[in-house]
């Protein structure tokens, strides 16, 4: 078990319910390292989509903090996740972010692993060496309708029950029949928690995201309430259910096993999240058109994907250091959609590109203010209920 930072109890004693977290949660190197050990290493992380590794030997890496995970398809078509740490002396085994390999060979001393993680050979290790004891450490793996989730720890929160509840709600989108159209990275000099908190609330949307606020009603809860009944009818007409799902890991006694599915309306004139309001790509899955809505989809507290009827946009906030975070944005479309014919990449990415540039700016300024010795946590607004949920899960996981 990771050691508990001496200052954690002091920070917990300072924290008041309904208030922002104390400064040290964003400025302490000890707290950051504790976050990685107790939160990131023990959380499910959405790392990619099955379309990224269609063939035997295809692999890609997902990196966060000092950790690296290999996601690979073996010769029988099965997908595995391994920690990217050689069992000999710890070198990274895979050094390219993606590729195709017959075996996984450590570049240092040529220890050779099967795609399944089993050690095939440890060169010149002597007659008493048993390679069966020295395979790559496995990461836990779940594939949910084509979306790949991993957890580095054996002590991962149980998510199977929540996935069963989500499955019928998500099925019409046909996520297993999607592909990644584009990925962009927006580095921000801020602690990862400030980036997550920013995504978990729309209190800032009206003043900070002018383009987004023209089309998305989350900036005004009353508009969401007023326009939702008509949206439910339109959603059902194109093949989407009208139900919602919110399952708190705290309420079920499994911190980190949070599930959220909610479709909300766009403003009149917007069929999807585009500059003009017009559809951007062919309808997803079994849908028959666009309904003028968007679905917030969440598994755990780190994995957020926004589903329109014609494309999806995933967000990850990946820690690189105490105050270094990558905002990773992933755009997905139907797998048979052709760029230049069925969608224009600039149009597809416009909204969440400009919105992410806004996010980088406001999160950067947020960290600069929190770094001040004069910072004192302020009260959370009612529209910041998502931050309260994040705090509950986060604090439960780092203190258990």
Cα-based distances in Å from 64 to 59, 237, 286, 316? 17, 41, 35, 11
pLDDT value at residue 28: 98
Amino acid 1: pLDDT = 56
* Fold (CATH) for 158-399: Naphthalene 1,2-dioxygenase Alpha Subunit; Chain A, domain 1 (3.90.380)
DSSP assignment letter at 38: I
What is the rounded distance in angstroms from the CA atom of residue 332 to the CA atom of residue 330?
7
Weakest mean pLDDT among 2-6, 193-197, 243-247: 2-6
Closest CA to 260 of 271, 249, 276: 249
What is the pLDDT at residue 136? Answer: 98
CA 111 centroid distance within chain: 32
332/327 Cα distance (integer angstroms)? 16
Question: Residue 292, by phi and psi: left (phi above 0), alpha (psi -120 to 50) or beta?
Answer: left
Structure tokens belonging to residue 241 = 């259910």
What CATH number matches the domain at 46-141, 2.102.10.10, 3.20.20.100, 3.100.10.10, 3.40.250.10? 2.102.10.10
Pick from 391, 322, 298, 306: nearest CA to 355: 306
**Cα 8 vs. chain centroid, distance in angstroms?**
26
- The span from the CA of 224 to the CA of 157, in Å, is 32
Closest of 281, 270, 278, 347 to residue 311, by C-alpha? 281
pLDDT value for 353: 98
> From residue 14, how far is each of 20, 39, 117, 388, 390 by CA, in Å?
11, 21, 45, 16, 18
Q: How far, in Å, CA of 327 to CA of 197, rounded?
A: 13
Q: What is the mean pLDDT of residues 32-45?
A: 97
- Residues whose CB is less than 8 angstroms from the CB of residue 145 and which lie 6 or more positions away in sequence, other chains included: 167, 170, 171, 173, 175, 176
What is the model's pLDDT at position 400? 85
pLDDT of residue 121: 86
The pairing of strands 178-188 and 147-151 is unpaired
> pLDDT, tens digit, for every residue of 303-344?
999 999 999 999 999 999 999 999 999 999 999 999 999 999
Q: What is the pLDDT of residues 248-285, one digit of tens each?
A: 999 999 999 999 999 999 999 999 999 999 999 999 99
Q: Could you read off the pLDDT of 107-129 as tens digits, one per residue?
A: 999 999 999 999 998 989 999 99
Q: How confident is the model at residue 2 (pLDDT cuts 50, 70, 90)?
A: low
- What's the pLDDT score for residue 3? 80
Q: pLDDT tens digits for 290-299?
A: 999 999 999 9
**Nearest residue to 280 via CA among 337, 355, 213, 218:** 337
Sign of the Cα torsion 383, 384, 386, 389 reads negative
Say yes or no to pLDDT of 349 above 70. Answer: yes
Residue 42 has pLDDT above 90, yes or no: yes
Contact 159, 45 (CB under 8 A): no
pLDDT, tens digit, 9 for 90 and up, residues 179-209: 999 999 999 999 999 999 999 999 999 999 9
For the chain, give every domain's residue range. Answer: 46-141, 158-399
Nearest C-alpha neighbor of 216 from the set 323, 313, 145: 313
Give the single-character DSSP code of 40: I
Smallest CA-to-CA distance from 173 within 307, 281, 306, 70 is with: 307
Q: Mind listing the pLDDT tens digit for each residue in 135-166?
A: 999 999 999 999 999 999 998 999 999 999 99
Residue 100 φ then ψ, to 5°: -135, 135
Mean pLDDT computed over every residue of the chain: 97
């Amino acid at each position: 078990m990771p050691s508990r930072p001496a200052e954690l109890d002091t920070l917990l004693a300072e924290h008041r319910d309904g208030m922002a977290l104390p400064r040290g949660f964003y400025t302490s190197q000890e707290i950051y390292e504790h976050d990685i050990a107790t939160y990131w290493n023990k959380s499910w992380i959405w790392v990619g989509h099955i379309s990224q590794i269609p063939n035997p030997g295809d692999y890609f890496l997902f990196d966060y903090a000092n950790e690296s995970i290999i996601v690979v398809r073996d010769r029988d078509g099965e997908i595995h996740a391994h920690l990217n740490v050689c069992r000999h002396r710890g070198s990274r085994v895979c050094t390219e972010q993606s590729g195709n390999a017959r075996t996984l060979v450590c570049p240092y001393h040529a220890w050779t692993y099967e795609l399944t993680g089993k050690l095939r050979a440890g060169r010149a290790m002597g007659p008493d060496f048993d390679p069966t004891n020295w395979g790559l450490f496995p990461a836990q793996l779940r594939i949910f309708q084509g979306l790949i989730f991993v957890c580095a720890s054996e002590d991962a929160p149980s998510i199977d029950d929540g996935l069963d509840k989500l499955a019928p709600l998500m099925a019409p989108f046909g996520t297993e029949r999607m592909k990644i159209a584009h990925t962009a990275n927006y580095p921000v000099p801020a602690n990862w928690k400030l980036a997550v908190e920013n995504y978990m609330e729309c209190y800032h949307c009206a003043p900070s995201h002018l383009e987004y606020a023209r089309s998305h009603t989350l900036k005004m809860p009353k508009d969401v309430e007023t326009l939702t009944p008509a949206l439910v009818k339109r959603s059902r007409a194109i093949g989407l259910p009208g139900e919602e799902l919110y399952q708190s890991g705290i309420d079920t006694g499994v911190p980190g096993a949070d599930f959220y599915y909610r479709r909300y309306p766009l403003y009149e004139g917007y069929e999807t999240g585009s500059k003009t309001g017009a559809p951007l790509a062919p309808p997803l899955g079994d849908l028959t058109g666009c309904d003028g809505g968007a679905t917030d989809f969440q598994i755990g507290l780190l994995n957020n994907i926004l589903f329109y009827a014609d494309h999806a946009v995933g967000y990850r906030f990946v820690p690189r250091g105490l105050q270094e975070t990558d905002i990773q944005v992933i755009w997905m479309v139907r797998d048979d959609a052709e760029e230049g014919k069925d969608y224009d990449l600039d149009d597809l990415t416009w909204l969440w590109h400009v919105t992410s540039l806004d996010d980088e700016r406001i999160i950067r300024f947020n960290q600069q203010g929190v770094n001040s010795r004069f910072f004192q946590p302020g009260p959370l607004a009612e529209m910041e209920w998502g931050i309260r949920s994040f705090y509950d899960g986060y604090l439960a996981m780092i203190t258990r």
